[in-house]
Structures are given as C-alpha cells and as structure tokens.
Structure 1
Amino acid sequence: MEKELIKVHPEDNVAVALKNLKSNTTVSFEGEDIVLTTDVKAKHKIALTTLHKDEKIYMYGVLVGSASETIEKGAVITTENVKHKTEKVTGKTETVNWNIPDVTKWKDRTFNGYHREDGQIGTRNVWLFFPLVFCENRNIEVLKEVFEKELLNEDVNKHRLLLRSLVNRDGTTDNSDITGDTVPVFDNIDVKFITHQGGCGGIRQDSESLSQLLAGYVNNPNVAGATVLSLGCQNLQIQILKDALNKVAPNLNKPVLIYEQQKMGTVEEMLNTIIKDSFAEIKKANQIKRKPAPLSKLKIGLECGGSDGFSGISANPTLGQVSDIITALKGTAILSEFPELCGVEQELVNRCVDEKQSSRFLQLMQDFEKSVVDAGSGFDMNPSPGNIKDGLITDAMKSAGAAKKGGTSPIVEILDYGEYVTKSGLNLLCTPGNDVESTTAMAGSGANIILFTTGLGTPTGNPITPVIKVASNSELALKMPDIIDIDTGAIIRGEKSIEEMADVLMEYIVDIASGKKTKAMELNQNDFIPWKRGVSL
C-alpha cells in the first residue's frame, strides 16, 4: 500500500502528508488509525496527537514551533494555529561523534579540472570582467556585448570589429562572416561579466565588504584572470581591492588588469585599450588544459531556494549525504544562509570542532538576528509565501529541513561573509537566506561547484561557479526540465534511498566538474548580488 504519511524523526509529534488527503479520511500510521479532521495538501503536516495551546511542536527531532490554539489530532498545522518557537542555545552541550560514510567507491575517482599554481583546482576556466563601482556598469555592458557576441561570432559593432581584427591576427576588420553559427573563437575558456550597484554611496564598510567578495572571485579556482574597471573617485578604491587580494591570496599569480577611467581620457580610448589587453590575456588563458584531480579538490556550496515541504526529506538530505562523502574524502563543503539555521543552533554548535568555532557561530547568529530585529523584522519572517503555501509554516521548520544539506560531519570553521575557505571539511558561512546573495557569497569564498535544492523551481546560476539544481519532487522536475538537473522525487515515492540518490548526484558532480554544462549554464544564468549590510549615506 502506498504510504500517505511520513514522520521524519522518532520524537516528532507531526507527520508530513505525501499526497493530498481529504477530511474524514482514516489513515493507518504507526499501528494506529488517524481520522483527518481537515483537508491536508501534500507536503503539509498534521498533528499526530492533540496539541493544546502553547504545547511544543517537534519536527526533525527539534523544536519548530508551538500551538497558538488547540490543534486536534489529525488536523493540519497552519500559520493560524502555530507560531515560531526555538530552543535557547548558550553553548556546547555535548560532543558529537561522526559516523564517517564508506567512501571506498569514490576514493580513487577523479575529475578533469584546471590546476592553479596555488594548488586549487577549477571546474571552469573563466576570464572575469567586473567594475569596482556601479558607475562603470555601462562600460562593462559594452565589453560584454563586444566579447560575448564577437567571440561567439554574432552581430557586429565597431568595438567588435577591433576584436575581430585581433582574432584574424592580421589587422583586417572584414565582417562578412560575422553572422551565422555561434562557434566560439576559443574552446577552453569562458568570458563572464559582473555588474552591481555598490562601490560608492554607502558606508565605507560596504565597500570593504564588496572588495573582499570580489577578491574572493578573483582567487576562486574557476577564474583564470580578471579585467577590473574603476572610475577613480569612488569609495572602493583600487588600493582597497589590492589590499583585499593580498589578504586572501598573498602570492596570487593570476593576471589582473585594472583600469581607471578618470586617468585614461575618452571612453573610446579606454575601451580600445581594455579590449586589446584583455584579448591577449584571454588567449593565453585558453591554453590552460584540464587534467585529472582527486575529488578532495572539490569545494561544494550547499544552497536551497524556493523550498517546499519535501525539501527537508528528499533533496536536502541528499545534499547532506554528498557533503559527508566529500568531507570524508578530505574535500570541502560550505553551508550558508544563517537565517535558515535558526532553530538548529544546538545541533550545529555541538558539531563544531572546538569552543572557538561554536562561540563564533553563536555570536554571528546573534549579531545577524539583532540587526534584523533592529530593522523592525525577525528571523520568524523568513519563510516566503511560496514556502508557506507548500508546507513550511515556521522559520524553525524551514531551518530544520534546510540544515539537512550540511549532513552530519564536524564543522571545522565558521566564516563571516567575504571570508575565504581554507580548511577542508564542513564550513559554515554567514550569509542571508536570499538565494542569489548566498550563492554569490559561496562562490566568493571559493566554491568551485554549488548544489542548489528547490521544491518550487528557481532558475539561479552564477557567473563563475556551476550551479547544479536538485528538485525535491518529480512534479517540479517534469514541469521545469529546463532548470532542473537532478530529481530526488524517487525518495518520496520510496523507490530510492538517500544514499542511492547521493550516488547519482555524485556521478553528476564529477561530470559537471569535468566540463559538462548544468541547466543554469545552458540558460546563461549568471546571477550576482552582493550583500549590503550597512545603510546608504
């Protein structure tokens, strides 16, 4: 008989509906009959016992809310009858022993990556263009048109004619064959472009934070080199970027071309210089070839967006198993989105390798939540309308499922936003819960692959790091096949275990790390949103 309900943890007093259920239906569950007192949509939760006002509600074995009124056994829980509630955490209460997964089948596997001089391995070979200030966005867009379209052999303009003459190597500007099939001039490098609204106008800390992020992008193993545009008078001065680069990579040996418009005369002259210089370096970077590398060189970011009531029992635990496999192989995993760790702090604190890390985690969480409260909101406002509609009623409930992406391994380091990952193992990175702000940050902290779960459908990608989209349910995968890479719906149907699905995802990761394109890459989805923590002046 097909299962109708699932209880995630033995201590839970709610269960998840695996399909739509009607009121007055009798459901057999764990040896007893439960009469549903309300209609229950798939992904939503029902009370397994009568819950009186203020009684605690547990899911995933943690406190996720309390009853704001009496909830009858067999009734659906909603935002009207449940409120957000979490346990108070002050520090470590125990040391967690990790049951290391068997990784025999993976220990000798390799992927074909780009070997950098600092020992990092890229899954992509990207030449990156970005501005230090929003005033240069227009020039970045011009360069984007020139390089993307000309190197892909599309429409023509005068700047692209210059680049075409360089491509032809003979100084000619013949454009008779510019239209037609989009065959790249270079076969071993991507050219990507970032724009943003920062670099000036805010507080100085915003510019420093942005410089750290951009320095991380330059240092990311997927990046071969960069072209940087500065206006000259902005808060984010060139020296600030250089200081950030020196901090994250004192021995950086990548070409970084920096141009300051206020010192270069006309836009025309500046763009001509940038095109010539950048083309020469891109041509050199195209000569870097893929070579085998151990899976320990993978740095995976763990993200969820557009989550639903199945995310925490299918897609997210699959990522958690993959995270444990990667860390057992001495690779690196990054779990972010601090508002979506609210309610599971005790488990995470107990998994920290030492008191220093656990204390830093709690301090960053407290500081973040205080800033949200000071702004007139709170972490309890984190679930989106889409989350709530698909069964994630409280922030703690959403967080308990989201934290499953981090598996069960020890937490080796706590990083603030903009800090670069240096230790193998599971790292926690302080970011907002916003999908793009979080993926943007993980790439800036060194992730060379990002795994992104979704239950509702999210088309997020990143300019330098492949984003693998993992669906929590098969309905989504069938409805939006153009954005979904992996479907974990078989877990919900009982056809595959989490371990089996993790093996499927691991094989796909190896393929993507070796050069295969994700769906987000095929759609040319290149999202970049820095986190602006301060105010505008």
Structure 2
Amino acid sequence: MTGNRLKLRAIKVHDRDNVAVIVDDGGVSAGERLDDGVELQCHVPQGHKVALVDIPLEGKVWRYGEVIGTAKVAIPCGGHVNETNLHMPTPPALDELPLATRSAPSAETLEGYTFEGFRNANGSVGTKNVLGITTSVQCVAGVVDHVVQRIKSELLPRFINVDDVVGLNHSYGCGVAINAPAAMVPIRTLKNLARNPNFGDEVMVVGLGCEKLQPSTLVDDQPVKIYQNTEAADPQANVLSLQDESFESFADMVEGIMAMAERHLERLNQRQRETCPVSELVVGMQCGGSDAFSGLTANPTVGFATDLIVRAGGSVMFSEVTEVRDAIHLLTPRAVDAEVGQALVDQMAWYDDYLSQGQADRSANTSPGNKKGGLSNIVEKALGSVIKSGHSPIVDVIGPGERLRKRGLTFAATPASDFICGTLQAAAGMNLQVFTTGRGTPYNLPMTPVIKVASNSTLGRRWHDLIDLDAGRIATGEASIEDMGWELFHLILDVASGRQQAAADRLGLYNDLVLFNPAPVT
C-alpha cells in the first residue's frame, strides 16, 4: 500500500488493481476527482470501491492483486463497483493447490519481551485467573447462573487474586445424537474449554444426572471425584450432579455448588502473576463486522503483530474457514510442509461438504453490514481477512474443538461466526484474543481478554469507549502498518499482564459461548 504518510482520497493496494477504496468520511460525490485525476460518475460512499479504468462487461475486477469478480455490466471509469454489478468467481480448486512451496521469510528472533502471567502446573500460562464452572447440559444453566451471582457477591471478595467466576453454559448435552461421528466436535470443545489456561487447571463440572453427555465424561482425563452433600464431602471434588440423592432441595443444590466452588477458589487464590516470556502467549486472531477497510488497516496491523509474536516464540491462531476458502491459494504455499498444506486443503473440503449438506455455500457468509461497509462478496472479504495471518509459515492445522499442539502460526478451523469462532479458539487454549471490526461490535469473551481494533477512524471516534486501538489512522495517513503493528504488540503485552483492561472488560460486556455442533439433533 502506498501513501501511509499522505492523506489520500482513495487507496489502491496493488499495481494490478483497477479499483480503489474511498477514504473520505462521507464518501466522494459525482464530479469530484481523486488524487490521480479520476472523476467520479456518481456518489461513492466511504469504504466502497471506485473503478479506476473502464471495466467492460465480463471484465475482471482486481483488488489486492487478485480477481474479486467479473463485471455484470460495463462499469465506467469513476463508477461505483459493488455487489450489484459483480459476478462472484468460483473458489480455487482444492486439488490444484501448491503445497509448502514458499520459503519462510527471514526474520530475526525477537528477544527480551515479556508479560506478567499466571503460570499453571501443566506449563501453560493464563492472562486471567478465573474460576470456570463447566455445565454438561443446558438444563442446569439457570441454576449455574443463579449460583455464579451468589459466588460473585458472597465468596469472590474473599479471594483477591481471583478475577472472576464464569458459568460455561451452552445448548448441548441432551436431545442430541451423542454417538454420531460429528458429536466429537462439541464434546471435545467442552472438555478443552475447561482446560483453558485462564482457568488455572481447576476443572469444575455441574450436571443434571440423566443427560446423554454425562458430567464425568468432561473430566475423563483425570480422576473423577463426585461431590455429595455430606459432612465427608471430598475437598477435591470436581463433578456435581443436581439429581444426586444427597440433595433434598434447591437450596441444597446451591449450597453444594458453592461449597465445591469455594475449594476451587482457595486453590486459584494461591496463583500470582510472574514474569513470562512472550513464547507463553497463545493469541487468537478474529474479525467481525468487517468492512472494506479491514483488509487495508486493522487486519494488516494484526498480521504485523502476528509475525512479531511468532518471532518471539509465541503462538497465534487464525480461523474462520469461509473467510479463508477464497484465499486458500495464498496460504497453502506457506505451509511448513506438504502434510500441513494438505491439512489446510482437507479442512476446506470438509467445510465445502458441510455447507453443501445444508444447501448453502460460502456466499452465505457476507452480511448486510459487510456490504454496507463496501465488501462486495466473500472473495473480497476473504482476501482481506487472511492478512491477519501475517507472513509467518503455517506450522499446524487443528480441527474445531481441538487443542493447540505447536508454537508458531496455526490455522484453527472454525466457522466464521464470531461467537462460535471465539468459543473454539478458547477451547484451543488461547489466553488472549484480538478482534478487528469495521462496522463495530460489543463482542467479548468472559474468560479471555479481547482487544478490539477498529479498521476506520470514524468507528474509532464514535465508539471511543468500546474500541481499544484505532487502526484507521493508517488510511488517514497518520500512521503506518508497522507503527500500528508495534502499538498492538505492546498493547497485547499490557493487557496480558493485567496492566491495562480491554474496553469491553471495563464495561463488563460478555457474550454467551456457542458450541459448533455439526451432528444431528434427535
């Protein structure tokens, strides 16, 4: 991108591009000229594309140096290019992709950067110290919500080193085909959510008792210790079922959960922040409410920070299959080896099939807000989305609900839904998330700090108390991608250390967790 230090009316990314994105707040009106002399034929809103040359019928439209569509009608130079006058191209063929053909860019190891985290016995590190109460079935959600509020008011003030108590409620657990092959996705997601490093190895499960997903299933990699409402209750208890006959009333159930939680809080309260290297960070990168600036400002900023974290030995995940599918040809060459490249292809193929079974395709991804923000189709959106991955080699690919296996850059296959992606990245083990947005969203996760990056300064100013970093300064010429990438990197370290709170955490805004369940519901 040119013009990082110069205010431009429109931004063209690549020499091959025949469109540019309007920067001016309020857009550019008919008859006005861009910096290169192109006269607009009609009003083009901020973030939308203007044709820089005459584009004939069926002519290719180029952005990011890639074809994002073909013209349904002839589009004159200075015309507005949008979803109404573009045909969407077919996605890259999965059996023709180059695998692991690109050498990793040379980059010096980044040393000397640390953060203050909570080290766990299993070697992982948390950026928060949170008690997570896992539920095995939706039936108990109301009880857990009730108890969480009591824990917060009656118990939490006594444990000054514990940040919060979170009920991990969901809509799964019964009335489902528990043994269907695809049921492994929600089940392993729930198991791995409880192991998020911000929960400090203190796994606590509340169930009903008669559900298909038995509570003990969620802790089957460690000794199952059932809580019973007796004087000899096990202080190490990690599973409680409301139907246990030792409970004779709702009050008994509540007191039992609180008693079990108190033992977990006592252990969590012994954790203290200590200096940890950046190699212990596990950062999830996600975008939501994207606009045409996302691929110009916020996502390149994230990509720069991604490369810094990887150079420091840390772990970064990028996700959202439908926002990768149309740019997969740019990613498979970056795989560290052919096996990882093939794993990328396999995840794309699985999701193609999944969408086909639902009689949909990847075009269902783009939202009305995406289009209002200037994104014409999923191809354009994907090309701007994958920039979050930076330039580092892709060292691994994990399926939905699986845990991270390697340090470096990993593709964690998830749907693009903000809430499902966030839930799956948390299950994979992320201890902090960076979320870019152009349209704006109050999205946040209860167990993991979420840093929100605005793609345009209009949003950054309007949502000044909800946005943590305004990357729109790149488009206005006030900062470069490198400037913003370093600023984000330092912000990540501050938030991970507890020195600074993310905006949504300060406001106490949290979204529900949402499981991805591709299995049948009975």
Q: Structure 1-normalised TM-score? A: 0.88
- Out of 257, 281, 297, the residue aligned to residue 238 of structure 2 is 257
- Out of 204, 219, 235, the residue aligned to residue 242 of structure 1 is 219
User: For the structure 1 residues 255 and 7, does the alpha-carbon distance in structure 2 shift closer, same or farther, using more than 3 Å as the test?
Assistant: farther
- Out of 201, 219, 222, the residue aligned to residue 175 of structure 2 is 201
Corresponding position of 1:491: 474
Does the CA-based 8 Å contact 1:200-1:207 persist in structure 2? no
Deviates more, 1:13-22 or 1:312-321: 13-22
Corresponding position of 1:164: none
> Using the alignment, how far apart are the partners of 1:3 and 1:461 within structure 2?
33
- Partner amino acid for 2:158? V
Corresponding position of 1:249: none
- Partner amino acid for 1:7? K
> Using the alignment, how far apart are the partners of 2:217 and 2:263 within structure 1?
26
- Out of 68, 71, 75, the residue aligned to residue 72 of structure 2 is 68
Corresponding position of 2:3: none
> Using the alignment, how far apart are the partners of 1:87 and 1:13 within structure 2?
21
User: For the structure 1 residues 37 and 270, does the alpha-carbon distance in structure 2 shift closer, same or farther, using more than 3 Å as the test?
Assistant: same
Does the CA-based 8 Å contact 2:8-2:35 persist in structure 1? no
- Partner amino acid for 1:21? V
Corresponding position of 2:229: none
Corresponding position of 2:32: 25
> Using the alignment, how far apart are the partners of 1:378 and 1:191 within structure 2?
39
| Residues 327-356 of structure 1: per-residue CA shift (max 9 Å, x gap) | 111110000111111211111111111121
User: For the structure 1 residues 202 and 68, does the alpha-carbon distance in structure 2 shift closer, same or farther, using more than 3 Å as the test?
Assistant: farther
Does the CA-based 8 Å contact 1:211-1:244 persist in structure 2? no
Corresponding position of 1:50: 54
Q: Indicate the SS of the match to 1:34.
A: coil
Corresponding position of 2:160: 187
Corresponding position of 1:7: 12
User: For the structure 1 residues 479 and 381, does the alpha-carbon distance in structure 2 shift closer, same or farther, using more than 3 Å as the test?
Assistant: same
**CA apart distance, 1:17:** 1.0
**CA apart distance, 1:479:** 1.1
**CA apart distance, 1:10:** 2.0
Corresponding position of 1:398: 381
Mapped pair 1:503 → 2:470: no
1:274-353 aligned at under 5 Å gives the runs: 274-353=257-336
Structure 1 stretches lacking a partner, 5+ long: 153-183, 247-253
Corresponding position of 1:143: 147
Q: Indicate the SS of the match to 1:80.
A: helix
Corresponding position of 1:517: 501
> Using the alignment, how far apart are the partners of 2:380 and 2:236 within structure 1?
46
> Using the alignment, how far apart are the partners of 1:429 and 1:494 within structure 2?
33
**CA apart distance, 1:239:** 4.0
What number of residue pairs does the alignment pair up? Answer: 494
Q: Indicate the SS of the match to 2:81.
A: coil
- Partner amino acid for 2:12? K
> Using the alignment, how far apart are the partners of 1:220 and 1:128 within structure 2?
9
Corresponding position of 1:215: 191
User: For the structure 1 residues 244 and 401, does the alpha-carbon distance in structure 2 shift closer, same or farther, using more than 3 Å as the test?
Assistant: farther
**CA apart distance, 1:103:** 5.8
**CA apart distance, 1:374:** 2.4
- Partner amino acid for 1:25? E
Does the CA-based 8 Å contact 1:208-1:236 persist in structure 2? no
| Residues 32-56 of structure 1: per-residue CA shift (max 9 Å, x gap) | x322222111111112222223222
Q: Indicate the SS of the match to 2:218.
A: helix
Does the CA-based 8 Å contact 1:228-1:256 persist in structure 2? no
Q: Indicate the SS of the match to 2:308.
A: helix
- Out of 192, 195, 204, the residue aligned to residue 227 of structure 1 is 204
User: For the structure 1 residues 255 and 367, does the alpha-carbon distance in structure 2 shift closer, same or farther, using more than 3 Å as the test?
Assistant: farther
Q: Indicate the SS of the match to 1:192.
A: strand
| Residues 51-90 of structure 1: per-residue CA shift (max 9 Å, x gap) | 2232222211222222122212221111110122143342
Q: Percent identity?
A: 32
User: For the structure 1 residues 207 and 140, does the alpha-carbon distance in structure 2 shift closer, same or farther, using more than 3 Å as the test?
Assistant: farther
1:458-477 aligned at under 5 Å gives the runs: 458-477=441-460
Mapped pair 1:366 → 2:340: no
**CA apart distance, 1:227:** 2.2
Q: Structure 2-normalised TM-score? A: 0.91
Does the CA-based 8 Å contact 2:99-2:337 persist in structure 1? no
| Residues 369-412 of structure 1: per-residue CA shift (max 9 Å, x gap) | 22212212210121100000010111010011111111011101
**CA apart distance, 1:245:** 6.9
> Using the alignment, how far apart are the partners of 1:289 and 1:213 within structure 2?
28
Deviates more, 1:204-213 or 1:370-379: 204-213
**CA apart distance, 1:425:** 0.8
> Using the alignment, how far apart are the partners of 1:454 and 1:320 within structure 2?
14
> Using the alignment, how far apart are the partners of 1:517 and 1:26 within structure 2?
43
**CA apart distance, 1:255:** 6.4
Deviates more, 1:20-29 or 1:195-204: 20-29
- Out of 34, 41, 59, the residue aligned to residue 38 of structure 2 is 34
> Using the alignment, how far apart are the partners of 1:530 and 1:68 within structure 2?
39
Q: Indicate the SS of the match to 1:482.
A: coil
Q: Indicate the SS of the match to 2:440.
A: coil
**CA apart distance, 1:208:** 3.4
> Using the alignment, how far apart are the partners of 1:134 and 1:233 within structure 2?
12
- Out of 95, 98, 104, the residue aligned to residue 92 of structure 1 is 98
- Partner amino acid for 1:399? A
- Partner amino acid for 1:523? L
> Using the alignment, how far apart are the partners of 1:313 and 1:103 within structure 2?
27
**CA apart distance, 1:256:** 6.7
User: For the structure 1 residues 399 and 352, does the alpha-carbon distance in structure 2 shift closer, same or farther, using more than 3 Å as the test?
Assistant: same
What's the C-alpha RMSD, in Å, of the aligned pairs? 1.9
Q: Indicate the SS of the match to 1:300.
A: strand
